[in-house]
Structure 1
Amino acid sequence: MDIALLKTFIEVARHRHFGRAASALCVSQSAVSARVKLLESVLGVVLFERRRGDIRLTEPGQRLLQHAERIVRSWARARAELVGEQRHTLALGCIPDLWSLGVRERVAVLRRALPWVELRLELLSAATLLQRLADGTLDLALLGEPVESRCCPSEPLARVELVLASSEADIGLERALGEGYILVDWGTRFLTMHAERLAVDMACRMRVDQGRAALDLLREIGGSAYLPRPWVESAAREGWLTAVAAAPSFSLHPHLAIRDGVIDRDPVETAVALLRKTGEAPPAEALPEWPAGVRDASSGP
């Protein structure tokens, strides 16, 4: 099958518009329509529901999308290997919350250490990162929990302390866990320990799957949530968040997952050595110089 057919299908699914997909692919709209029709003919299914002003994936189209994305990514990696470019690339994934917990600084150092490497960085959910490790389109992934997979061994990184923080000063534990409490899904281990040590009725409460979303909500509407201590200390210095003194703390256990069979590559070895230090403050001299104004904008929690 022509890989261009799958690329075209992905762009139409992404933009839900044949014209915008054509612009993204630098081809005519008629070429996009012809490719989609050909793909539907080859597969024997209808991939899109075409309505006036709207295009939606059919059920077969939804099933095809995840396969198409994997095939296109795998094809790109295979092509790079065949032309001898693979040793010059490094594909790194990270869950969004870890980005602000030392990964951002380490990637900056990594960029300076390997200027000759094409570095691909993806901030995605843990499930998506694991899928991309398994299909070979990622070399490394930073996750909030260990990976139970033979093809993607993982190793623990520095632990991150999670503390209960509130927008209300001098608040007690019972009040902090009341109506304004936001439960952050920091992973199976955290949720298990949370249930064992804290009696919280989550009926009519809020639950989010990312710590940064909880932090933003606390700033906007107030309340309390378990957040990494560095974030809480930064917000406390700004005067809008405080740690709840009577609350127990928990630990986030970040892990670095490594796709089996790539550890002998120099870029991966360098990346692993740097990322093992995630959670520690990197030496100031190791950080790159950012353009004026960028450092201030990126130095928040």
Structure 2
Amino acid sequence: METELLRTFLEVNRMHSFSQAAENLSVTPSAVSARIRQLEGEIGRPVFRRNSQKVSLTPAGERLLRHAQGIVQAWERAQRAAGEDERTQIVVAGVASFWDIFLQEWLNRVYRELPGVAPWVEVSTAARVADKLIQGEVHLGFLYSPPQHAGLVLREVERMKLVLVSTRAEQTAVEALAQDYVFVNWGTVFSSQHDRQFPHRPPAAARSNSGQVALRLIQAAGGGAYLPLALVRRELEDGRLFRVEDAPVFELHAYAAWSARGEHAELVERMLEFL
């Protein structure tokens, strides 16, 4: 059995929703459904009850749940152990857009300057990063809104301005949101602020949890999106994108989180010095 099937099973159970699990796993709902069907085929019985309101476990699903998390965690530990050498492996997880904006450069510096560190890098959703931090599966996580959990150290590491940009010049905010707008999920704080500012906006033409994906989409097909100023500065200077001048500017905070009592806490803090 592929561990990806069990990971999908665990995410559907956690969210009680195929569509929410798909968003967190960065796949389509049909892909999630196909994985669950494959899992049920291998087990020989259904693992979820499906109705219009939520998804719940069947008795077979409840029995599987008792073992699935342990299997997935054991496999991840085995993968890390198999690749171990004299370097210290540090599992680092961050939301996709942070890698686009500043984490890649940070990781490059860590890799150059700390040869004794072997980074094990994951790009994931904020919810998944938070869960893995709490479960002790990640040594260092980067999120929009870190979990308030005893034992975790939190540090703000970056502040970014989110600006509404468009491939069309001289648009108003109302026009930009009404025509080919790509909604980027910058976390719950941004989403609530966005909803308050634009309560009557039409549905977005597309959605993404990656700023880079949204940028490439509007560059290819036209449209607008809220993107970090640092990510689009060159396109604005070159006239390939345009600021929507009457749109509000949002501020996005990036946080690092790690376990204060983790076995590699001192090394994690040293890595953060390169930010």
Question: TM-score, structure 1 length as denominator?
Answer: 0.66
Q: Is the 8 A contact 1:163 1:250 kept in 2?
A: yes
What's 1:107 paired with? 107
Gap regions ≥5 residues in structure 2? 7-37, 48-60
Query: Rg: which structure is higher?
Result: 1
Higher-strand-fraction structure: 2
- Structure 2 CA distance for aligned equivalents of residues 192 and 11 of structure 1: 35
What count of residue pairs does the alignment treat as equivalent?
Answer: 228
| C-alpha contact 1:152 1:257 (8 A) present in aligned 2 | yes
Give the aligned residue type for 1:209: N
Name 2:271's counterpart in structure 1: 271
Name the CA distance, whole Å, in 1 between partners of 2:39 and 2:210.
32
Once the two structures are TM-superposed, the CA of residue 137 in structure 1 deviates from its matched residue by 2.0
In the superposition, relative to structure 1, how do residues 11 and 199 fare at CA in structure 2: closer, same or farther (>3 Å)?
A: closer
**Residue 24 of structure 1 aligns with which residue?**
none
Q: Unpaired segments of 5 or more residues in structure 1? A: 1-8, 15-45, 278-301
Letter in 1 for 2:104: R
One-letter code aligned to 2:206:
M
1:13, CA displacement in angstroms?
A: 4.3
Compute the displacement of 1:220 (Å).
2.0
State the distance in 2 between where 1:132 and 1:142 align.
11
Distance 1:96 1:184 in 2: 11
Which residue number corresponds to residue 93 of structure 2?
A: 93
Kept in 2: contact 1:74–1:136 (CA 8 A):
no
CA distance in 2, matches of 1:85, 1:57: 42
Distance 1:102 1:12 in 2: 29
Identity of aligned residues (%): 25
**Are residues 56 and 184 of structure 1, via their aligned partners in 2, closer, same or farther at CA, if it must alter by over 3 Å?**
farther
Paired AA for residue 70 in structure 1 = Q
User: Paired residue for 2:222?
Assistant: 222
Superposed displacement of residue 196, structure 1: 1.9
Secondary structure, in 3 states, of the residue corresponding to 1:251?
strand
Distance (Å, rounded) in 1 between the aligned partners of 2:45 and 2:77? 23
Report if the CA contact (8 A) 1:146-1:155 is conserved.
Answer: no
Q: Is the 8 A contact 2:100 2:211 kept in 1?
A: no
Which residues in structure 2 correspond to 1:89-238 (within 5 Å)? 89-203=89-203, 205-238=205-238
Shift of 1:213: 2.4
Counterpart position of 2:74: 71
Q: What displacement does 1:236 show?
A: 2.3
Which residue of the partner structure matches residue 41 of structure 2? 49
Shift of 1:234: 2.3
User: Structure 1 counterpart of 2:93, which letter?
Assistant: G
Offset at 1:122?
A: 1.0
Q: Secondary structure at the match of 1:102?
A: helix
The Cα shift of 1:250 comes to 0.2
Shift of 1:56: 9.8
Q: Deviations over 1:200-229 (max 9, x none)?
A: 423464333332222122112211110000
> Given residue 10 of structure 1, which amino acid in structure 2 is its aligned partner?
E
Local SS of the residue matching 2:152: coil
Paired residues of 2:92 and 2:121 also in contact (CA < 8 A):
yes
Letter aligned with residue 197 of structure 1: Q
Q: 1:246 maps to which residue?
A: 246
| Secondary structure of residue in 1 paired with 2:98 | helix
Distance 1:263 1:249, change over 3 A: farther
The residue number in structure 1 matching 2:15 is: none
Q: Is the 8 A contact 2:160 2:252 kept in 1?
A: yes
1:27-76 Cα deviation digits (max 9, x unpaired):
xxxxxxxxxxxxxxxxxxx95515xxxx9995249845444212333567
Work out the CA distance in 1 between the residues paired with 2:212 and 2:64. Answer: 29
Could you tell me the TM-score, scaled by structure 2's length? 0.71
C-alpha change, 1:74 and 1:223, in structure 2 (3 Å) is same
CA RMSD in angstroms comes to 3.2
Describe the shift of the 1:232–1:87 C-alpha distance in structure 2 as closer, same or farther (beyond 3 A).
Answer: closer
